[in-house]
């Protein structure tokens, strides 16, 4: 049965991702356009627990489309994982007469949202916001495209100095369990090798590829290492290569959190706008425990359960093949 929704709240939780502000803006304005009252929760689930909830109006989301981060702030909230924490959050949801939530984040955010919805009957729609692109139910997550562009900007610069000094650079990029950022950045930057969590690359394979490059007169090389690479990060891989080949002039760069910041790309601004708009329309239509995602350039709803439990490997097979072919 459709629950009449009057008051909704939006929050961002987990790691921030460029494009979250576009999604917040779309949620607020779509809600107001449809006669709803919209609240913003500060610092994700932490803000529900501490009652840091404020009314939003159309102007409260002016001039934020181009901003990285999230105007609502975010947190990885351990207390929300406890029964007491969730009960406190529900108390404040009730006090503020909030009927439904839009939660923007990754798998941790959605796991919390699902339990909260099941336990307290609050309707919830999720928007996938994580640079890792590691959720089922959306070809792209918010922030992924911008993060790749940020990586590229850095790798292009490193390429200049690598070439000038004839050096071998190991560049580590984010992606806890997902090689999506690494793979796309490797293709777009022309990296010689990419090391992914989803693929087994032995030190012998890596050395073979580097030696092949050297034998065909490559003077410098870029190896992109995903932080989730099972055999070690950039420092470890560089150490192992140097142990065997002392003559390589090896350098390491960890790109780290700079990948999460910066102005969102047009793709992420549009994606955030589409998903925010769709999330509110889904709540109005009485949907709950769904995630709004982009599949084949169409906005579709997937159950949150499927989004967080379906085993996925989003590495495009043609891109994987190209990492071998185009780097000779």
CB of 127 closer than 8 Å to CB of 9? no
CB neighbour list of residue 222: distance below 8 Å, 6 or more residues apart: 155, 158, 159, 162, 169, 171, 189, 190, 191, 192, 193
Q: From the CB of 16, what's the least distance to ligand F6P, in Å?
A: 8
Cα(81)–Cα(86) distance, integer angstroms:
7
The answer to whether residue 146 forms part of the interface with ligand F6P (CB under 6 A) is: no
The tokens for 212 are 């092949």
β-strands 290-295, 7-12: how paired? unpaired
The answer to whether residue 104 forms part of the interface with ligand F6P (CB under 6 A) is: no
Q: From the CB of 203, what's the least distance to ligand F6P, in Å?
A: 23
Residue 302 CA, distance from chain mean position? 17
The answer to whether residue 105 forms part of the interface with ligand F6P (CB under 6 A) is: no
Which residues from 249-268 bind ligand F6P, rule CB under 6 A? 260
Q: Which stretch binds ligand F6P (CB under 6 A): 82-90, 174-182, 190-198, 212-220?
A: 174-182
How does DSSP assign 229-295, residue by residue? -TT--HHHHHHHHHHH-TTS-EEEEE-GGGGG-SPPPHHHHHHHHHHHHHHHHHHHTT--SEEEEEE
Cα(113)–Cα(201) distance, integer angstroms:
37
Q: Based on CB atoms, which residue is closest to ligand F6P, 73 or 260? A: 260
The answer to whether residue 40 forms part of the interface with ligand F6P (CB under 6 A) is: no
Name which position in 28, 38, 131, 210 contacts ligand F6P (CB under 6 A).
Answer: 131
Q: Tell me the per-residue interface mask from 177 to 216 with ligand F6P, x by CB under 6 A, - otherwise.
A: ----------------------------------------
Name which position in 89, 101, 174, 279 contacts ligand F6P (CB under 6 A).
Answer: 174
The answer to whether residue 130 forms part of the interface with ligand F6P (CB under 6 A) is: yes
Task: Give me the torsion for CA of 52, 55, 61, 62, rounded to 10°.
Answer: -130
Please pick, among 132, 134, 145, 268, the residue that the annotation labels catalytic. 132
The answer to whether residue 106 forms part of the interface with ligand F6P (CB under 6 A) is: yes
Q: From the CB of 228, what's the least distance to ligand F6P, in Å?
A: 8
β-strands 53-56, 37-41: how paired? antiparallel
Specify whether 57 is catalytic.
Answer: no
Which residues from 3-22 bind ligand F6P, rule CB under 6 A? 15
List active site positions. 132
Residues that bind ligand F6P (CB under 6 A): 15, 76, 106, 130-132, 174-176, 227, 260
């Amino acid at each position: 049965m459709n629950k009449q929704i009057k008051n909704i709240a939006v929050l961002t939780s987990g790691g921030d991702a460029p494009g979250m502000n576009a999604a917040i803006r779309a949620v607020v304005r779509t809600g107001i356009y449809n006669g709803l009252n919209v609240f913003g929760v500060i610092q994700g689930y932490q803000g529900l627990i501490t009652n840091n909830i404020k009314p939003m109006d159309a102007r409260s989301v002016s001039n934020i489309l181009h901003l990285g981060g999230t105007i609502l702030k975010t947190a990885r909230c351990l207390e929300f994982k406890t029964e007491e924490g969730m009960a406190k959050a529900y108390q404040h949801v009730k006090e503020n007469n909030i009927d439904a939530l839009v939660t923007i984040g990754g798998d941790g955010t959605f796991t919390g949202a699902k339990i909260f919805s099941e336990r307290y009957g609050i309707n919830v729609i999720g928007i996938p916001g994580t640079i890792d692109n590691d959720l089922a139910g959306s070809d792209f997550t918010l922030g992924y495209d911008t993060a790749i562009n940020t990586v590229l900007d850095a790798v292009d610069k490193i390429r200049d100095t690598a070439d000038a000094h004839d050096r071998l650079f190991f560049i580590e990029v984010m992606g806890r369990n997902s090689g999506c950022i690494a793979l796309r950045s490797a293709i777009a930057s022309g990296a010689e090798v990419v090391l992914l969590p989803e693929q087994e690359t032995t030190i012998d394979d890596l050395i073979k590829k580097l030696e092949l490059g050297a034998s065909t007169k490559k003077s410098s090389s870029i190896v992109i290492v995903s932080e989730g690479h099972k055999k070690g990060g950039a420092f470890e891989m560089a150490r192992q290569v140097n142990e065997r080949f002392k003559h390589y002039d090896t350098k390491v760069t960890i790109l780290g959190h700079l990948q999460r910041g910066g102005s969102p790309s047009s793709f992420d601004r549009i994606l955030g706008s589409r998903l925010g708009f769709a999330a509110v329309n889904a709540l109005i239509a009485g949907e709950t425990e769904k995630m709004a995602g982009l599949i084949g350039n169409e906005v579709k709803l997937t159950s949150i359960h499927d989004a967080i439990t379906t085993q996925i490997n989003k590495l495009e097979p043609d891109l994987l093949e190209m990492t071998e072919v185009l780097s000779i």
